[in-house]
Chains A and B, each alone.
Chain A
């Protein structure tokens, strides 16, 4: 197991280095950042001074090394727009995105896995049709469209939830979510939920007909225990990877959903910084999102190893 974790760790570090490389050169190919910072009427001399000041006149390899050495300690420079370190802005926006992502993941788990289970254990039944329909809709309805419909129905007409913004509830030093998270989280959860329904269903369907399930029945184990011990346990292995990957995406922030609901999270920040061509900030968010995804993939791999002894002992 240690060897397995170690090799995954090394792989993750390599990926992160690759991301830094791409993030750095991505900026190089989009043009000269100095021209953005100065007004259109700046003299060539002013441009040159600015370059000197920001270090853009040094050889590219030197620039890259210094970028990497600063990036590994979380320093991506200052946001041109906010005049603040980019990392600080991310940290500031992170709680909102985490709140949204965790809520969305919980909604999709609570709805997706039971629906998939019912569906997979009774293929062709009424509930199977309902679950498959929900799964298909979840994966095909554009979430920004659904978000607008939800606002129309639940905020404008019924008035149950606020239509935008994040409200929090402070209790004993903790910042707790309020109902304001429900609509954005539900819209965000839909795709993951659809995927979970479909994967749980097919995993259960496949494992139901495995030889070892037949063995379990031949031992006289009651159906319920066969489902829990033999089918669910094995079905959880493919589900772990989906949940890991999906949570990574959710945590990187959703541009659509956060923009529609004016949710003060990373997605919103990213949309704004792209609009402003705020390079330092875009780079920082891009790297941070990759970092989150890579870390979650690493955790997923470890969880995978824990769930499946065949991987653990290799």
Chain B
């Protein structure tokens, strides 16, 4: 499969009054065409910051992208059949604006606060169409109603002039999705889109995105801290910890054969069906390192049950432990398993 996005060694820092926060210290991953990549990790591990860095959505100052490359292999370039990748990080303001909402759509977590409360739903969708596709107001309205129907909002024509607060949580998230897919993007970045929803609605939204992905031939990056969601929908999973990518693997490989102690611990913390209430859930001792002064050794060392001498001396680089399965650990835990 052809790559559509390749991120190399992305470094983002926040310059705050308390000091420099090393939010991302060299994150690398890639995304294939038509693939769903799940990104998991605890709060503050840099999942969202990674995505926001790519689209220049972080407030600068305090944020600064200090290194790395993010090559975007766009193949729906109508103007010129140029398949040379663009480095998203090097784009200027107007360059990145064309990508945002046009080639890469963003779905945010809490659709109530992510939609403008004083603007109609329809206007918020058509705004994007007018901006990117140069539609007239009427064309954009027609298309917006189609989009609303497409994402499963009944009576779309009537709902066009409704305000976000008149919608239910699920409908608002569907609206967000309509905004994100409005310009037929190649990549959808979903930043915890189901966290604020209850389980049944969550399932509907996941199903909707899966369907759209197939029908519109998009790639999806799905950020979550729900490993269950990832298991159900992702093709590959990236595990993040303290601003670095610690493991990336095809989904089955990750769940059955995790290669990084952090992933192993994370999976151990999941409740298992049929065993509820029989024993305590495992937890990971300690807390993530303070990103104001990140250690010069393995970030996970002081929480790791297997930490050895060399773990306290250097930061482990990512190694391929089986085809397509990389882990940033000195030891090969996957190999030790049957």
Contacts and interface: CB of A to CB of B under 8 A. Distances in A.
B137 interface: no
29 contacts: A212-B113, A212-B114, A212-B115, A212-B117, A214-B57, A215-B114, A218-B100, A218-B101, A218-B106, A219-B100, A219-B101, A219-B106, A219-B179, A221-B97, A221-B101, A222-B97, A225-B131, A229-B116, A230-B116, A233-B116, A233-B118, A233-B119, A234-B117, A237-B118, A308-B117, A309-B163, A310-B117, A310-B118, A313-B166
Nearest to A208: B59
Interface of B: 55, 57, 59, 93, 97-102, 106, 108, 110, 113-119, 127-128, 131-132, 163, 165-166, 176, 179
A223 B59 CA distance: 13
Given A219-B128, A219-B131, A234 B97 contact: no
Given A218-B55, A233-B119, A309 B165 contact: yes
A220 B98 contact: yes
B100 A215 contact: no
A234 B118 contact: yes
A266 to B, nearest CB: 37
B27 to A, nearest CB: 20
Interface string A187-231: 000000000000000000000011110111111111101000110
Given A215-B115, A218-B108, A219-B179, 20 more contacts: A211-B108, A211-B110, A212-B113, A212-B115, A215-B108, A215-B114, A217-B57, A218-B101, A218-B106, A220-B98, A220-B102, A222-B97, A222-B131, A225-B131, A229-B127, A233-B116, A233-B118, A233-B119, A308-B118, A309-B163
Contacts of A210: 113
Interface of A: 209-212, 214-223, 225, 229-230, 233-234, 237, 307-310, 313
Residue of B99, B102, B119 contacting most chain A CB atoms (<10 Å): B119
B222 to A, nearest CB: 16
Contacts of A309: 117-118, 163, 165
Contacts of B110: 211
